[in-house]
Amino acid sequence: MSLDKHGIAKRIAQEVQEGYYVNLGIGIPTLVANYIPEGMNVVLQSENGLLGMGPFPTEEEVDPDLINAGKQTVTTLPGSALFSSAESFAMIRGEHVHLTILGAMEVSERGDIANWKIPGKMVKGMGGAMDLVASAKNIIVAMQHTSKDGQSKLLKNCSLPITGLQCVKKIVTDLAVLEVTAEGFRLLERAPGVTVEQIQAATEGKLIVEGEIPEITV
């Protein structure tokens, strides 16, 4: 059975380690925050100028001057810090953020990512995605393995406009966990009940399968 978006978020949460500063993108990546183990010291960075992002506020705590990069109302935590957008991207560009988790429309076997523009559709802008992927030390992508009509999104070459080159390190999809290597996508784990053959069929880029591939446990 393939993973739903919560399953993908839970699996990615296993990649988060004690002491990490983490930037979470919009969509499935935002859900990862819900599955970070209780008691683990992890600081969430929101690129509009907040380190130490807390949970959504209660109705009484809502403050229009305190939002995250998705424009959702949030809270601070003991130890939080607030700063400007220039300072925020200094943290990102300067590689002070340990882990970036974001969504993608396509990833290539070299780790190129496309997630900001579909030709012919309204272009909303890249926001902070290009800055994040160009500088993050460790990028994990949360995505669906194929499009709704079954086309692979793990490709030899991205067909959509690129957000960044050779930057993705790991991918968690509804079907599998993969590592981007110099040789291609290395299959690390498969979703419960999903076969290597099914993953192979859903992957256009080069898939490397070595030995027994364990099932994802979440």
Partner 1 sequence: MINKVVQDAASACQDIPDGATLMLGGFGLCGIPENSIQEILRKGIKNLTCISNNAGVDDFGIGLMLQQRQVKKMISSYVGENAEFERQLLSGELEVELIPQGTLAERIRAGGAGIPAFFTPAGYGTEVGEGKESRAFHGKMYLMETWLKADFALVKAWKGDTAGNLIYKGTARNFNPMMATAGRITIAEVEELVPEGELDPNQIHTPGIYVQRIFQGKDYEKRIEQRTVRQAEPASS
Using CB under 8 A as the binding rule, whether residue 135 contacts partner 1 is answered as: yes
Rounded least distance, CB 125 to partner 1, Å: 4
Angle of CA points 40, 86, 130, to nearest 5° = 75
Using CB under 8 A as the binding rule, whether residue 47 contacts partner 1 is answered as: yes
| Identified catalytic residue from 38, 47, 189, 215 | 47
Using CB under 8 A as the binding rule, whether residue 123 contacts partner 1 is answered as: yes
Instruction: Pick the stretch among 15-23, 103-111, 125-133, 193-201 that binds partner 1 (CB under 8 A).
Output: 125-133
Joined together, the tokens standing for residue 128 give: 């902070």
Using CB under 8 A as the binding rule, whether residue 57 contacts partner 1 is answered as: yes
The site string for partner 1 over 65-94 (x = CB under 8 A, - otherwise) reads: xxxxxxxxxx-------xxxxx-xx--xx-
How many angstroms separate the CA atoms of 141 and 177, rounded?
10
Cβ contacts of residue 101 below 8 Å, gap of 6+? 12, 22, 23, 24, 25, 29, 32, 139, 140, 141, 142
- Residue 134: alpha-carbon gap to chain centroid: 14
Rounded least distance, CB 144 to partner 1, Å: 21
Among 1, 38, 39, 58, contact with partner 1 (rule: CB under 8 A): 58
Distances (CA, A) of 190 to 2, 68, 96, 174, 180: 9, 33, 32, 9, 15
How many angstroms separate the CA atoms of 88 and 50, rounded?
8
Using CB under 8 A as the binding rule, whether residue 134 contacts partner 1 is answered as: yes
Rounded least distance, CB 116 to partner 1, Å: 9
Rounded least distance, CB 71 to partner 1, Å: 4
Contact 178, 213 (CB under 8 A): no
The question of whether 47 is a catalytic residue gets the answer yes
- Positions in the binding site for partner 1 (CB under 8 A): 46-50, 55-60, 62-74, 82-86, 88-89, 92-93, 112, 122-131, 134-135, 161-165
Positions annotated as catalytic residues are: 47
